[in-house]
Amino acid sequence: MSEIDKDEYFPGEFEIDGLTLQGNIVYNKKAKNILLLIQRKTDGLDRLHFNYHETIIGHLTSGSTVSLIYNNCVQNTTHLFSHQDIVYRSEYLVMGSPNRKFDQMICILENALQWSKMSQLNTEGFIEAKMQYCEERVFNWYGAEIAFSTELKNSLWTSPRPEVCSVEERLQVRIQFKEKVHLKKLLEVRDRIIALISFATKDNVNVLTQFLVDTDDCEEYTEDYKEPHRYELLSTEPNYAVYNTHHFEYNFDLTKLSDNTDIQENLEKLVPIINLYLSLYKYPHMPVEMVFLNLTQALETLHARFFYHNDKDEYIKSVYSRFSNHPQFDHIKSLLLSNGQDSSKCRQIYLISRINDLILGDYDPLFWSFYRKGSTFAQQIVDTRNYYTHYDETKKEKALSGDTLVDAIFILRLILELYTCRFLGVDVKDDVGRRLSNYKNSFPQVRDTFSSTRNSN
């Protein structure tokens, strides 16, 4: 099924609303379509209405059982009082399995092997390649056991050897729950893992093939050997463009994530933050203004979820405990407690305070040029966010646009990568500093883009 690039038809009987109807499944891998076509005889008076169905069970004429998952009725028409055409568009199709729960999912991923730094091939000698043992790396994330390994397809060492040989190695992810769960839960965890790898590699990761496993449903090969049956999961999920980001540019690779470090709570908190970050490259046609809004929202969410329990009073206490004896306290206070932030009438932490708090830290010099005296970086981010959120023409002059908006996105991206990696137990401070320095050297206008001098002109 994984190689189908044209319409393939699977006739059978399908159970819908207590009826057993004849129909055809049409699957096209390249077009990302799973359709169920049904033609029902009618005299026009017994026309039936069909709506959304989470699961439709089918029994193919070949003898197989299939499950169509998340089905929307996209067509329901009656022709000349003779027959009724019904078309369902399905998101997933499970081959060979009735509707039930599973405790394991196995995915083969595209564009994730370099990130894993795992391989069954030893090519260090450059002259020859040798097979080597590749041990699984196992983590406990998102309430499941996540195991990373590789799948190797190698026709070089087959016998007899074909004239044209190929070697293909991909990262394999196994998601294992202690108890059986619905498909929705498995997909949720899978998507979080893919998003995490995409964040790490600054690139898109696609699912090539995926299987569902019920470890109690085994295929017995001999009296002493049996293996859980794999049910292939076909989907209409899109494939995203792969940009082949060089591994030197990764935020981190799998080896930087400790097997022993419990980052479960942080992983849960980071889910929406990482999803917002992915708008940088997952959706190439997204307007730059929307990318800016997403990154700003990601930073606001990160600060709310990880600092001061999102409590204004706790935030103010932190400002005084960190900086009350600092020689630059007046300037720091103007950044962190501006616009009446410390007023008793204020009940929330303002966005400008959050951004300044993130770039200032404990007066860290990394982003010094964006919080030094004369810098208006945080204020411009807030003004720009307000304009692109409401498109109030009175705020347009203060909003960033064009190249300056792109500059702002780059800085926001670095801040977000710094803190997200930190909460994953990965230190990228030196790398962020290098990239920030290189960017400012390549684009000198960044030095005065966010200054009060520029705004006074």
* pLDDT tens sequence for the chain (457 residues): 444 457 889 999 999 988 999 999 999 888 889 999 999 887 666 667 888 999 999 999 999 999 999 999 999 988 777 888 999 999 999 987 766 789 999 999 999 999 999 998 887 766 677 778 889 999 999 999 999 999 998 887 788 888 888 889 999 999 999 999 999 999 999 999 999 999 999 999 999 999 999 988 887 777 777 888 899 999 999 999 999 999 999 999 999 998 777 789 999 999 999 999 999 999 999 999 999 999 999 999 999 999 999 999 999 999 999 999 999 999 999 999 998 999 989 999 999 999 999 999 989 999 999 999 989 999 999 999 999 999 988 889 999 999 999 999 999 999 999 999 999 999 999 999 999 998 877 766 665 666 654 443 3
Domain end point (choices 256, 274, 307): 256
Based on the domain organization, do 269 and 240 belong to the same domain? no
Residue type, 6: K
Based on the domain organization, do 236 and 272 belong to the same domain? no
Based on the domain organization, do 213 and 119 belong to the same domain? yes
- Look at the chain and report how many structural domains it folds into: 3
CA 177, chain centre distance (Å): 20
Q: Is 93 exposed, middle or buried (0-12, 13-18, 19+ CB in 10 A)?
A: buried
Neighbouring C-alpha atoms within 13 Å toward the C-beta of 288 = 12
Domain CATH for 76: 2.40.10
Report pLDDT for 328: 94
- Residue 2, in any domain of the structure: no
| Those residues with Cβ within 8 angstroms of residue 268's Cβ, 6 or more apart along the chain or in another chain | 142
Based on the domain organization, do 159 and 86 belong to the same domain? no
Based on the domain organization, do 249 and 339 belong to the same domain? no
- Residue 29, in any domain of the structure: yes
Based on the domain organization, do 221 and 74 belong to the same domain? no
Based on the domain organization, do 205 and 57 belong to the same domain? no
- Residue 27, in any domain of the structure: yes
Report pLDDT for 1: 47
Domain end point (choices 95, 120, 146): 95
Based on the domain organization, do 324 and 438 belong to the same domain? yes
Based on the domain organization, do 349 and 424 belong to the same domain? yes
- Residue 50, in any domain of the structure: yes
Based on the domain organization, do 171 and 277 belong to the same domain? no
> What are the C-alpha distances in Å from 25 to residues 37, 87, 92, 96, 291?
6, 10, 12, 14, 38
pLDDT digits over 66-98, tens only?
999 999 999 998 877 788 899 999 999 998 776
- Residue 1, in any domain of the structure: no
DSSP conformational letter for 345: T
Partnered with residue 57 across adjacent β-strands are 15, 67
pTM: 0.91
Based on the domain organization, do 356 and 400 belong to the same domain? yes
> Distance between CA 101 and CA 185 in Å, rounded?
10
Give yes or no for a contact between 368 and 450, defined as CB atoms under 8 angstroms apart: no
Neighbouring C-alpha atoms within 13 Å toward the C-beta of 203 = 22
Range of the domain at 14: 8-95
Based on the domain organization, do 136 and 193 belong to the same domain? yes
Report pLDDT for 110: 97
Domain end point (choices 47, 65, 95): 95
Report pLDDT for 310: 97
Beta strands in 221-353 (DSSP E): 226-235
> Distance between CA 98 and CA 64 in Å, rounded?
10
Report pLDDT for 455: 46
Task: Report residue 116 as tokens.
Answer: 């894993």
Task: Report residue 248 as tokens.
Answer: 């030197």
Report pLDDT for 445: 61
